[in-house]
């Protein structure tokens, strides 16, 4: 949520930002908010004036009592009493307008960074840099689900019977490799100085609307029937929600956290061969990083964070590239975002394995997270980034370490988490 001062002082900038995000259907909201804000401030001023008058009249009573002017005292008391109904009316109108303004403000997209490329959708995202040499071996790399099944590591048929499409059983060494990737990611981030956390896996609706747009919420979140609780789609949601309505001491910044959680999402994805694999599923696990910092440190942290993900995958012998997300591909709260994509030797192209975003102070403003500064309180910037989400991370490791004999070479950094095992063989 942007600061309403921006609409008061430069509403054309807000409208131009909406156009850059190809959301012209929201342009009318800016004018509506401006009109409501003028009404709100007028009502508030009228209420303040009436309260000042009431206080002024009240202060006269003591003087008049001492002077024995009973009739005048009674008259002033009547006047003061008559203000009560009007003050209540103004208070109710002020609250109504404030609520309506906030509801509309929640649909106004955050102001994107000037470096963000302009484009309608993810087809206009821009490649930034490649890391590692993409290799296509001189033997066929099967579909990842087939590899896992040959290694007795995947059972989607049973999962379909127990839970439906979009779920899976991981078994044996494949399940162990999946856990190894996540455990290594945890330790990788701890070594970077991040504090490890395991957050709640369900959050209330006021936290959900504080961390994401309504469109994302409808498309992603599973609601618990009969409860004001949602299953998290990423641990960022509950990690940022931890600081809701808190005042944080400035000297504790930056706050750098890395969190593990299962994640639950409604989306299943396009029809086709990927549906029988693990690329787009309802349930996965993730190691995330979250940072709260001062505005002036925001972009430094943004660049550090996506580089951590690149370094993580390169340590697994997985070539990756980074893509700058264009304006139309940014969720409404995001200021700037880039995707990290891993190389698929089977598909001979890259696929998304993580995303790094800065949201400016939008989440902090929605959730009431403030920093106690030397002179005044202010909203921090919040950032989040995927260290690794698995099974996608697992797919990248399996494909890039698949051997001609059907085995999977285990990256050196993962071997301690696999009991020293160097390969997974077909049995």
The domain that holds 12 is classified in CATH as 1.10.287.40
114 within some domain: no
Q: Are residues 36 and 140 located together in one domain of the fold?
A: no
Nearest to 381 by CA among 333, 340, 328, 338: 333
> Domain tally for the chain?
2
Measured between alpha carbons, how far is 406 from 287 in angstroms, rounded to an integer? 29
Domain for residue 110, yes or no? no
Report pLDDT for 85: 83
Distance in angstroms (rounded) separating the CA atoms of residues 227 and 223: 8
| CA dist., res. 231 & res. 222, Å (int) | 6
Q: Are residues 42 and 126 in the same domain?
A: no
- Are the beta carbons of 411 and 316 closer than 8 angstroms? yes
Range of the domain at 164: 122-424
- Residue 332 domain-assigned (yes or no): yes
Residue that finishes a domain, picked among 105, 140, 175: 105
pLDDT less than 50: residues of the chain: 269-273
| 144 within 8 A of 390, measured Cβ to Cβ | no
Residue 36 shares a structural domain with residue 156: no
Model confidence over 236-284: pLDDT tens digits? 999 999 999 999 999 999 999 999 999 999 865 444 435 678 988 999 9
DSSP run (H or E) holding 230: strand 230-231
Q: Would you state the pLDDT for residue 226?
A: 95
Domain match, 227 and 294 both: yes
- Rounded to whole angstroms, how far apart are CA atoms 282 and 143? 20
Does residue 112 belong to any structural domain of this protein? no
Q: Quick one: pLDDT at residue 73?
A: 65
Tens digits of per-residue pLDDT, 369-379?
999 998 899 99
Backbone angles phi, psi at 356, to 5 degrees: -115, 130
At residue 273, the pLDDT reads 39
> In sequence order, what are the residues at sequence separation of 6 or more whose Cβ sits closer than 8 angstroms to the Cβ of residue 5?
none
- Beta strand spans in 234-391 (E): 247-249, 255-264, 283-293, 320-324, 336-344, 349-358, 370-372, 377-378, 381-390
Q: Note the pLDDT of residue 74.
A: 67
Judge whether 16 lies within some domain. Answer: yes
Of 265, 285, 281, which is closest to residue 167 (Cα–Cα)?
A: 281
Q: Is 279 helix (H, G, I), strand (E, B) or coil?
A: coil
Query: Residue 262 phi/psi, 5° resolution?
Result: -75, 155
In angstroms, what CA-CA distances link 150 with 57, 138, 174, 396?
87, 20, 11, 17
C-alpha dihedral sign at 249, 250, 252, 254? positive
Residues 88 and 182 in one domain: no
Spatial separation of the C-alpha atoms in residues 264 and 285, rounded to whole Å:
9
pLDDT for position 63: 65
Both 326 and 363 in one domain: the answer is yes
- Clarify whether residues 18 and 138 are in a common domain: no
- Which positions ≥6 away from 402 have C-beta within 8 Å? 137, 141, 142, 147, 345, 408
Q: Does 117 reside within a domain?
A: no
Look up the CATH number of the domain holding residue 314: 3.30.930.10
Question: CA separation (Å) from 303 to 60, 300, 342, 356, 399?
Answer: 63, 5, 18, 9, 28
- For residues 44 and 132, membership in a common domain is answered with no
The three-state secondary structure class of 37 is helix
* The domain boundary residue, chosen from 70, 105, 140: 105
Q: Are 85 and 183 part of one and the same domain?
A: no
Task: Note the pLDDT of residue 254.
Answer: 97
How far apart CA 423 and CA 427 sit, in angstroms, is 12
Q: Are residues 308 and 363 in the same domain?
A: yes
Residues 64 and 156 placed together within one structural domain of the fold:
no
Q: Establish if 390 belongs to a structural domain.
A: yes
Is residue 291 assigned to a domain? yes
Give the pLDDT score at 212: 86
Q: Cα torsion for 128, 134, 140, 145, to the nearest 10°?
A: -50
User: Based on the domain organization, do 51 and 185 belong to the same domain?
Assistant: no
| Residues 320-350 as b or e (16 or more Cβ within 10 Å = b) | bbbbbbbbbbbbbbbbbbbbbbbbbbbeeeb
Alpha carbon 250 to its chain's center: 22
Domain boundary, last residue among 47, 72, 105: 105
Number of H helices, E strands in the chain: 12, 18
């Amino acid at each position: 949520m942007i600061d309403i001062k921006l609409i008061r002082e430069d509403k054309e900038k807000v409208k131009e930002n909406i156009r850059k995000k190809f959301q012209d259907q929201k342009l009318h909201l800016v004018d509506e908010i401006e009109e409501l804000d003028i009404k709100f401030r007028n009502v508030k001023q009228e209420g303040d004036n009436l309260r000042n008058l009431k206080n002024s009249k009240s202060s006269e009573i003591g003087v008049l009592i001492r002077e024995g002017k009973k009739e005048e005292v009674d008259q002033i008391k009547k006047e003061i009493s008559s203000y009560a109904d009007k003050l209540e009316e103004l208070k109710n109108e002020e609250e109504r307008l404030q609520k309506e303004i906030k509801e509309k403000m929640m649909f106004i997209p955050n102001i994107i960074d000037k470096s963000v490329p302009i484009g309608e959708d993810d087809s206009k995202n821009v490649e930034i840099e490649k890391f590692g040499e993409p290799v296509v071996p001189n033997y066929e790399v099967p579909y990842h689900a087939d590899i896992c099944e040959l290694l007795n590591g995947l059972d989607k048929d049973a999962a379909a019977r127990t839970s439906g499409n979009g779920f899976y059983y991981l078994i044996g060494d494949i399940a162990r490799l999946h856990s190894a990737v996540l455990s290594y990611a945890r330790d990788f981030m701890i070594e970077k100085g991040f504090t490890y956390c395991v957050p709640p896996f369900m959050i209330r609706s006021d936290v959900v609307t504080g961390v994401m747009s309504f469109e994302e919420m409808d498309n992603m979140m599973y609601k618990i029937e009969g409860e004001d609780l949602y299953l998290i789609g990423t641990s960022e949601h509950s990690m940022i929600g931890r600081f809701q309505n808190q005042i944080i001491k400035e000297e504790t910044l930056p706050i750098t956290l890395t969190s593990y959680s299962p994640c639950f999402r409604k989306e299943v994805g396009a029809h086709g061969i990927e549906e029988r694999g693990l690329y787009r599923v309802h349930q996965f696990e993730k190691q995330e990083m979250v940072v709260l910092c001062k505005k002036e440190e925001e972009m430094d942290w943004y660049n550090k964070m996506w580089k951590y993900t690149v370094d993580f995958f390169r340590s697994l012998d997985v070539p990756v590239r980074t893509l700058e997300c264009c304006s139309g591909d940014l969720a409404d709260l995001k200021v700037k975002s880039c995707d990290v994509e891993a190389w698929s030797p089977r598909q001979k192209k890259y696929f998304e394995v993580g995303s790094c975003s800065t949201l400016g102070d939008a989440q902090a403003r929605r959730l009431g997270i403030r920093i106690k500064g030397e002179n005044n309180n202010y909203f921090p910037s919040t950032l989040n980034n995927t260290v690794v989400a698995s099974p996608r991370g697992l797919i990248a490791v399996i494909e890039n370490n698949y051997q001609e004999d059907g085995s999977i070479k285990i990256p050196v950094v993962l071997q301690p988490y696999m009991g020293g095992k160097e390969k997974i063989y077909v049995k």
